[in-house]
A and B are shown apart, each in its own frame.
Chain A
Amino acid sequence: MSKKVENIVEFANELRWQIGDELHDHLTESIYADAAKIASASVSTENSKKSFRLDAKIDKIVTSKIWGFPIMFLVLALVLWITIIGANYPSSMLATLLLDNVHPILKSFAASIGMPWWLDGFLIDGVYLALAWVIAVMLPPMAIFFPLFTMLEDFGYLPRVAFNMDYLFKKTGAHGKQALTMSMGFGCNAAGVVATRIIDSPRERLIAIITNNFSLCNGRWPTQILIATIFIGAVVPSSLSGFASVSAVISIAILGIGFMFLSSWLLTKTVLKGEVSTFNLELPPYRPPRIWKTIYTSLIDRTLIVLWRAMVFAVPAGAIIWLISNIYIGDESIAAWIINSLDGFGLILGLNGVILLAYIVAIPANEIVIPTILMLTVMVTGISGGEGAGVMFELDSVNETATILRAGGWTLLTAVNVMLFSLLHNPCSTTIYTIYKETKSVKWTVIASLLPLIMGFVVTFLVAQIWRVF
């Protein structure tokens, strides 16, 4: 330190002795006094209580001890319900267009210009179909889910969720604002991880980052919805099947929140011990959401960006699926070889080799798990209905999908465990990369990636064992 600065600092220290240690308090008081004086000189209110009362009334209901949680789940169920029901029609329209109409045109075009079979298979059956699937299955639910979620945000409901859950977070030793980042995670885990920057304490921020993956993200909702519709909806009378499948999906989401609390608690009891920090949470006034603007911006900002990401990752994944199904070692394709070696482990978990391989291939994007499973199942069982080795496809009727999965040896147990495993496995590669960027630590990135995977193995294993006893 230079002499000049040293002198100044010394002088300042000397002066500090003379004024005592209440400097900060005095200063704050002076500022508050001035602020109050200035405000009172220029602000006038008439019967202002009247309009504040509505906000307070809503708050009393949505943050009440009795109604707070039921209202939260009801809102979540409503958003999901609208998403599931509303996405059906555009989804099947897009599937018809991209898979039934455009795909054959591309195939015949490739044949007419004499494209070699391997290039045609690689580009059109691999890359194109992967893209088409992601667009058809992801775009409609996202285009409904994101604007609805953004409207809740705009309205001011999120801070109330945080307020309701604060008590639970404190109990587990985590930060109350984790409720906000957790909610973001329901849209996208990578976004949720970035949002943890609102948490000041590094310890609590790490907990929020590591456990964000337990929020069922947008890429996993379609998997949950499809499997629940096929298998859970089928065990109840058809009049109740819609209700049963929505409840199953919501149970998985709530189970995820449960696991988030459990692992937060485990972390604070072991590697991330420490004090819970306090914070002020301002409950902002409710603001009427601007519906059109919200739809527009959330389509541009969230939907298209997430879709773009999924497409970028689906292209290489589609290519890899096609390649491993068409490159042979001896008389078995690489895919068949991997599936056979994973099968034993998979069966112990109540899953199978196909599902495990699909989750490996789908590390870049959770969205492509189901098409990969279908394609690989058709390939190993050799049943008709698919489009050939290494071709990802979607079956128009849910019944047909069910037939293929049952032929692949799926039972109700497999379905339940796929739903559980979809909740509890490693984050997608984007999220892993984001975690690394935010924590700058290989150690925490590895922990955040493996913790949910290990939990997934343990949970599916236990469920399978208990299931088989009964």
Chain B
Amino acid sequence: MEKYSACDTCGHFNAQGLQKLGVKVEEVDYVIALAGNPNTGKSTVFNSLTGLRQHTGNWPGKTVIRAEGAYAYNDKKYKLIDLPGTYSLLSTSDDEEVARNFILFGKPDVTVVVVDASRLERNLNLVLQILEITDKAVLCLNLMDEAERNNISIDQRTLSRDLGIPVVATSARYNRGIPELIQTIEGVANGSIKCKAHHVINIPKNIKKATNNLVVELEKQFPKLPNKSWIALRLLQGDERIIKALESGELIVE
């Protein structure tokens, strides 16, 4: 496509006039996973990005199937995966498995973690677990309108610095912050925004030592394996799915 006006190449204009592609998910440049606790408005974010009308409702556990949609921005096509809402990735219920397996094996280019701004602390548990798996993440601080109503204010800079990933405040119900979210996703996807994700620090010494030993061993056997310390932790917990994945080699990135 030839470009004629400055508008065509202006990031902000394009974010406003986002090309929503609905279910046309073929030949995409980037794959974006949408994760988060139940009832944080993931589906609403998904809808405002893709133009789809995935049913939304104010009750946890509403999304039961993985929904896919797409949008185009600045000549790149993005595929968006709406994962089921989960509180954690450490247990083994079906919906958590779907979310975890996708972030791990689906190798999304960016994982957008949608959190409820008025319940940040509780939501951060999942964020930290996701950051153990992947570096390329964006925190979508959703439901800002509710947080404001409850007189909660969040220092986004501090939060972004502590987590080591970009933070975008949104109110997806009212389409606020969506252009900024799109730009940030682009930045993380093409590498112009560098993430240095926070890793959980105060792990007890003996666990840390065991993990390190296992990482050394993994380094020897599987040099190409990504996020080895997380995989080491899962192996220490005897996670069958991870053992299977090691065997099949699906964790290796080329």
Contacts and interface: CB of A to CB of B under 8 A. Distances in A.
A159 B59 contact: yes
A38 B246 contact: no
Contacts of B158: 41-42
Contact of A48 (B55, B59, B151): B151
B61 to A, nearest CB: 4
A44 B121 CA distance: 12
Nearest to A154: B58
B241 interface: no
A287 B218 contact: no
A282 interface: yes
B125 interface: yes
Interface in A264-292: 280-282, 284-287, 290
B213 to A, nearest CB: 6
A8 B207 contact: no
Instruction: Identify which of A39, A46, A162, A302 gathers the most chain B CB atoms within 10 Å of its CB.
Output: A39
Interface in A19-35: 19, 23-24, 26-28, 30-35
Contact of B128 (A5, A11, A34): A34
Contacts of B61: 177, 180, 198
* Interface size bracket, A side: 35 or more
What secondary structure prevails in chain A residues at the interface with B?
Answer: helix
Interface in B109-152: 118, 120-122, 124-125, 127-129, 146, 149-152
Given A27-B90, A31-B128, A156 B246 contact: no
A301 interface: yes
Contacts of B150: 45, 48, 51-52
B173 interface: yes
Interface stretch (B2-10, B24-32, B196-204): B196-204
Nearest to B243: A9
Given A282-B39, A290-B173, A33 B202 contact: yes
B93 A200 contact: yes
Contact of A281 (B60, B124, B201): B60
Contacts of A60: none
Contacts of B221: 4, 7-8
A15 interface: yes
B121 A28 contact: no
Contacts of B151: 45-48, 50-51
Contacts of A24: 90, 237
B80 interface: no
A40 B247 CA distance: 42
A26 B111 CA distance: 26
Contact of A285 (B118, B213, B236): B118
B222 A4 contact: yes
Interface string B175-210: 000000000000000000000001011111011001
Contacts of A12: 214, 232, 235-236, 238
Contacts of A9: 235, 243
A195 interface: yes
Contacts of A343: none
A39 B120 contact: yes
Given A15-B214, A200-B94, A34 B201 contact: yes
B153 interface: yes
B247 A1 contact: yes
Contacts of B155: 41-44
Considering residues B58, B93, B153, which has the most beta carbons from chain A within 10 angstroms of its beta carbon?
Answer: B58
Contacts of A50: 151
Contact of B236 (A19, A39, A52, A281): A19
Given A26-B204, A46-B151, A150-B57, A32 B125 contact: yes
Contacts of A11: 213-214, 217
Interface residues of B, number: 65
Given A8-B218, A8-B221, A287 B58 contact: yes
B1 interface: no
Nearest to B152: A45
A5 B125 contact: no
Nearest to B129: A31
Contacts of A177: 61
Contacts of A42: 120, 154-156, 158-159, 162
A218 to B, nearest CB: 15
B58 A284 contact: yes
B58 A2 contact: no
B214 A153 contact: no
B73 to A, nearest CB: 24
A259 B202 CA distance: 53
Contacts of B156: 42
B163 interface: yes
A424 interface: no
A436 interface: no
Contacts of B218: 8
B224 interface: no
Given A15-B214, A35-B125, A8 B235 contact: yes
B38 interface: yes
B58 A23 contact: no
B253 interface: no
B152 to A, nearest CB: 5
Interface string A296-320: 0100111000000000000000000
Contacts of B207: 19, 23, 26-27
B117 to A, nearest CB: 9
A43 B120 contact: yes
Interface in A95-151: 150
Given A5-B247, A35-B128, A284-B58, A16 B121 contact: no
A440 interface: no
A23 B57 contact: no
21 contacts: A4-B222, A12-B214, A18-B206, A19-B210, A23-B207, A34-B198, A35-B127, A38-B124, A39-B120, A41-B162, A45-B151, A48-B150, A48-B151, A48-B152, A50-B151, A194-B65, A198-B62, A282-B38, A282-B60, A284-B59, A300-B53
Given A19-B207, A23-B236, A41-B155, 12 more contacts: A4-B221, A19-B210, A24-B237, A27-B203, A38-B162, A39-B121, A43-B153, A46-B151, A159-B60, A194-B65, A282-B38, A287-B146
